[in-house]
Structure 1
Amino acid sequence: MDLETFSPLMSDEGQRLLDEVAEFGDYAPERELALATRLRRDHPAPLVSAAMAQTRLRQRAGAKFGADAQRMYFTPDGVEQATRATVAAHRADRFAARGVRRVADLCCGIGGDALALARAGIEVLAVDRSPLACAVTAANARALGLADRIEVRCADVTDVDVAGFDAVFVDPARRGGRGRVFNPEAYSPPLSWAVRAARRVPHAAVKVAPGIPHEVVPEEADAEWVSDRGEVKEATLWFGGGPGRRATLLPGPHVLTGAAPGAAPRDGASGTSGAPRPGGPRGPHGEGTAPVGPVARYLYEPDGAVIRAHLVARVAELVGGTLIDPAIAYVTSPDLVATPFATAYQVTDVLPFHLKRLRALLRERGVGTAVIKKRGSAVEPEELRRRLALSGPRSCVVILTRVSGAPSMLLAQPAPGAGGTGEAGEVGAG
């Protein structure tokens, strides 16, 4: 898709055609030819193709944008890379809670974050170097009645003067010609530039990949990992509020916080030097020491955002538990504690890993359906499922992992009522 293809959709004829295609409903690929043939009797073929392509993009975008997707406009890359609406709304709420009233949204893409910021009552300058992205952002602002709060500018973000803004939000491109980019300095623009831009204003947020190494996070940043309904979506580096780490779970939000590695507690640290931290947290589970113990009655699987934020040790504290292995993100406890930050399972068996033993045990118990989880195991779940050849009316959870360094298999059942979300709230580092 290019600007020449997209622009005619904004005409009166293009709008009527989009409505006509939408009225046809969710059409299957095998019915597209018949629909296109009928529409081309009254409309130019390129416009019909553009309208049908936009309708398909709207259908795909429904998972991210809900009902708004049917009024919005998209590009193929935009659907793939845009921030999910729930995550963008959470970020906008955080900006608003800081008293931010004017934000420069740099690398705005199709405008997902700009729309959320505007809905939070914030004035937005949305900047992107792509004329198509800018046209789509402007169209989305008009479609959702937010054009009075969003100014769209087509420019290189590195040329934008952010003086006078309360905050900036930077969403660097993390894909190249060969797919995803994992080196933060290979982002476009690089992370180092985004951090410098963040330091020019009172408040800022920089969107990064969830797998960003902790050691490259600037020492003054509050690094936040966000999951939505159990799926890790992104990480954001916040500036202007002091250093720290947090895992945020949506809906809620439910927030688990911890001190930044090597930093003083958040209420006493200024974090102004700006140099990268010399190292990450001590071990994969966070600052401090999380004890290791034998598998107890309940096993807790922390949310992915908690794991990414290196806050598994905090979950162990919350449930009064221990780790099953120093390097494995599973927590065990004799008590069932309701927490939004982990899913609980009631353990029935803890055994050394042995395929024949597992197969015999599951057959003996009539297990025909198994949820197979693994952490710290080389066994592939689908291959294991094939070799187990399960049959029977019962179900169970099979967990392949290490217990105190030994390859092990745990059989378990979901613990009712222990993985709910409850009321929104924040749990600090104590």
Structure 2
Amino acid sequence: MAQAPQDQIAPLLTSEGWELLASLGPYREDKSFELNAALRKAGHSPALVSAVLTQSRLRTKAELKFGEFARSMLFTQAGLEQATRLTVAARHAERFAQAGVRHVADLGCGLAADSLALASMDITVTAVEMDETTAACATVNLIPFPNATVVHSDATTVPLDGVDGVWLDPARRVTSTSGTKRIWDPEAFSPPLSFVESLAATGRAVGVKMGPGMPHESVPAGCEAQWVSVGGDVTEVALWFNSVRRPGIRRAALLLGPQGAAELTSAEDFDGGPAAPVGPAEGYLYEPDGAVIRAGLVADVALQLRGHLLDEHIAYICAPELVDTPFARAYKVLEVMPYNVKALKAWVKENGFTVLDIKKRGTSVTPEELRKQLFAGSKVAGKKAGQKTATLVLTRIGEDRVAISVEPV
């Protein structure tokens, strides 16, 4: 039976546990059994060894979100899954700093990623966490910052006297013995979206992190909704109220990647904004970033590219010329074919393709199943040497299902 989170953290909050954890190098799965035996042979208890190895594994995994800071932090599995990447947390903190906020309550602070970013900007932080084990981790993680305090309490009942800013990251998962399960209803979050709105009604600067799949109709009026994508992965939609909401912006898509940051914004509500023309598959096909799609800004990108949509309800854009944009990935259109499995199988065979990258929107086709059908009976499928790759985009143009052969730019 898996150990409860508190059983994996408590042994580390001792001098022996902390020193042992600090003595380990990067976690390696292939060496874990050997290391487990060596630590037990050295006289450490099975409970401590299990806790140390679990934490070492989580620290190594957490480097994707926290970089080198992960090496001195404490994590729980559930907390790490929901934790904000440090690069994104820094963006949140900048909002409060630029608005002149001096004291932020981080309600539902989790492992304290956002509190870390806020405290590093000399903002006083009261980090509130209801789960005792997670609160203990947050306390350790905030040790370097004397301007940050952790409170073990219910986020909805803690006093906010002297607090002029509030950040919330509601729990959107429930944990059971079988793992964690995502919750979709904003009113089932902890705390619920209605509580966030009640805080905004006080006039304080309020920001809240929500899941990126939040429906547009659930976004409250009077706030800015900013979808954030990191390396092409849409991580959140942040809702900003009052002084941390930017004037004239209702929705935005912020893309963070190796080349820096790029943002697209709109003052229009979700049912407004420009309309893009609809046209054929030609020239170059563009696949918008997920944050652009979530923010309802596909038509805006199409107009920037001097292009058109293939279908008004599907997020594929075509343009006659190649235009450099951070908001969409470009492909050169090679051939447009009706969607017909028999004809596509013949096309694969005639061209000697051994690998198919299949993308789809607006169709119920399952890429894995189609790939099996197209390579059925082929002796070359799956060969490692001399591979010949093709990329197919499956979609609809009006009522017609099509397969578009494209080449990544």
> Normalising by structure 2, what TM-score?
0.89
Q: Which moved more, 1:9-18 or 1:68-77?
A: 9-18
Distance 2:223 2:274 in 1: 20
Letter in 2 for 1:407: R
Offset, 1:3: 4.0
Give matches, 1:253-272, under 5 Å: 253-261=261-269
Q: 1:120 to 1:366 in 2, by over 3 A?
A: farther
Q: 1:196 to 1:393 in 2, by over 3 A?
A: same
Q: 1:383 to 1:149 in 2, by over 3 A?
A: same
Give matches, 1:262-341, under 5 Å: 281-282=270-271, 287-341=273-327
Distance 2:300 2:218 in 1: 22
Letter in 2 for 1:222: E
**Contact 1:206/1:238 (8 A) holds in 2:** yes
Offset, 1:406: 1.1
**Contact 2:207/2:241 (8 A) holds in 1:** yes
Offset, 1:92: 1.7
**Contact 1:223/1:238 (8 A) holds in 2:** yes
Give matches, 1:6-85, under 5 Å: 6-20=9-23, 22-23=24-25, 25-28=26-29, 31-40=31-40, 41-85=42-86
Offset, 1:287: 2.6
Offset, 1:330: 0.5
Q: 1:396 to 1:155 in 2, by over 3 A?
A: same
Distance 1:171 1:382 in 2: 36
RMSD: 1.9
CA offsets, 1:19-72, max 9 Å, x none?
A: 33x13x43336x434422332232233222211111111122122222221211
Structure 1 segments unaligned to the other structure (5+ residues): 262-280, 416-430
Other-structure match for 1:271: none
Q: Which moved more, 1:94-103 or 1:127-136?
A: 94-103
> Normalising by structure 1, what TM-score?
0.85
Other-structure match for 1:153: 151
Other-structure match for 2:107: 106
Residue 374 in 1 paired to residue 365 in 2? no
Seq. identity, %: 44
Residue 405 in 1 paired to residue 375 in 2? no
**Contact 2:289/2:329 (8 A) holds in 1:** yes
Distance 2:13 2:186 in 1: 37
**Contact 2:105/2:163 (8 A) holds in 1:** yes
CA offsets, 1:263-291, max 9 Å, x none?
A: xxxxxxxxxxxxxxxxxx34xxx633221
Distance 1:288 1:315 in 2: 10
**Contact 1:222/1:260 (8 A) holds in 2:** no
Q: Which moved more, 1:150-159 or 1:59-68?
A: 59-68
Offset, 1:126: 0.4
Letter in 2 for 1:80: E
Aligned-partner SS, 1:32: helix
Offset, 1:122: 2.2
**Contact 2:208/2:238 (8 A) holds in 1:** yes
Ranked by relative contact order (alpha carbons within 8 Å, sequence separation 6 or more), the top structure is 1
Give matches, 1:409-428, under 5 Å: 409-415=403-409
Distance 1:14 1:403 in 2: 61
